[in-house]
A and B are shown apart, each in its own frame.
Chain A
């Protein structure tokens, strides 16, 4: 996860990013702490496909096609009327379907707070913690230059 400023993102963008990085097993484990999700109907998917990833020449110039990545998407409508979408990196159909159901339920005022507390908050904390660990390991490999000798005339 990059260090992009989360303040500019909507709550839904933030929870979708968290769901995209959680395995199906993670999602099931945290859902056990929340009320059962409503019944649902799949409108599309879950289906595996590709996203062409683009970079920029020189890092900031004109876009170019770098290569593709596998992505799985799913859309559901739950019995309470919410439509949930998921696009998640990789080929895990169960993750995409659960992520879409959770995305739908999170849009319900009645369910939002419980799901946010039981599923999104702990997953986000775990993802941030993993990122912080990596940053601390990187910090330990930061070079501290020192001067061997100073020439004075």
Chain B
């Protein structure tokens, strides 16, 4: 039973340190940050996505989980008490195991861009795979990062999201116990 898998050993410190790490990753896009050490979440979650979800989700956030989330659903309901929604457009936060159409997510409004959703996407690997070049706020100079597990047309799909700025969706990529975050303000092209 997934209830037997613990959440953060210390919920307050775990959430605070993970929040700080996610903030770092969002502020400096492309920086690889380690989180979720010691977490043993139920499949299919990896430690990084589990830590992000335990930190950012509570009773005030609407969470969408894909059908493949399986036992992780009960575990998250127990430890994070989300407001579960059954369709992606209603979500403040959505978990995905494969890149969905970003247009399905709530991009917020010009009056309320902060309402734009955050996608937590599990991928195969960070720092190997296809190479992307990132530029924009938080980066004094363009930087490169390798990612494995994104669709071939990722850069084009991201560009459509980026064009909506200040509306749009923010993305947190999770592999193992590492994350990289792409705020909607970021330019991404294939390198």
Listed in ascending order, the chain A residues whose CB lies under 8 Å from chain B are 43-44, 47, 75, 77, 83
A83 and B3 form a contact (CB under 8 A): yes
Contacts of A75 in B (CB 8 A): 3, 78
Cβ-defined contact, B4 with A77, below 8 A: yes
A59 to B147, CA, bound (A): 57
Closest to B3 in A: A43
Are B4 and A44 in contact, with the CB atoms below 8 A?
A: no
Complex-state Cα separation, A7 to B4, whole angstroms: 33
B1-21 CB mask vs A (1 if < 8 Å, else 0) is 001101100010000000000
Query: Contacts of B6 on A, CB cut-off 8 Å?
Result: 43
B34 within 8 A of A: no
Q: Report the minimal beta-carbon distance from B188 to chain A, rounded to whole angstroms.
A: 39
The B interface, classified by DSSP as helix, strand, loop or mixed, is helix
What is the minimal beta-carbon distance from A81 to any residue of chain B, in angstroms? 10
Measured between beta carbons, the chain B residues less than 8 angstroms from A44 are 7, 78-79
Contact bitstring B66-91, A, C-beta under 8 A = 1, else 0: 00000000000011000000000000
Query: Considering the chains assembled together, what is the distance between the CA atoms of A75 and B78 in angstroms?
Result: 10
Q: How many residues of B contact A (CB 8 A)?
A: 7
Tell me which residues across on chain B come within 8 A of A47, comparing CB atoms: 11
Tell me the minimal C-beta distance from B77 to chain A in angstroms. Answer: 11
The 10 A-B pairs with the shortest beta carbon distances in the complex, nearest first, are: A43-B3, A77-B4, A47-B11, A44-B79, A43-B4, A83-B3, A44-B78, A44-B7, A43-B6, A75-B3
- Bound Cα distance A6, B30 (Å): 59
Residues of A within 8 A of B7 (CB): 44
Chain B residues near A83: list those with CB within 8 A: 3
10 new A-B contacts at CB < 8 Å, known A43-B3, A43-B6, A44-B78: A43-B4, A43-B78, A44-B7, A44-B79, A47-B11, A75-B3, A75-B78, A77-B3, A77-B4, A83-B3
Cβ distance A149 to chain B, nearest Cβ, rounded Å: 62
- Cβ contacts under 8 Å, A43 to chain B: 3-4, 6, 78
User: Can you offer 11 A-B residue contacts whose CB atoms are under 8 A?
Assistant: A43-B3, A43-B4, A43-B78, A44-B7, A44-B78, A44-B79, A75-B3, A75-B78, A77-B3, A77-B4, A83-B3
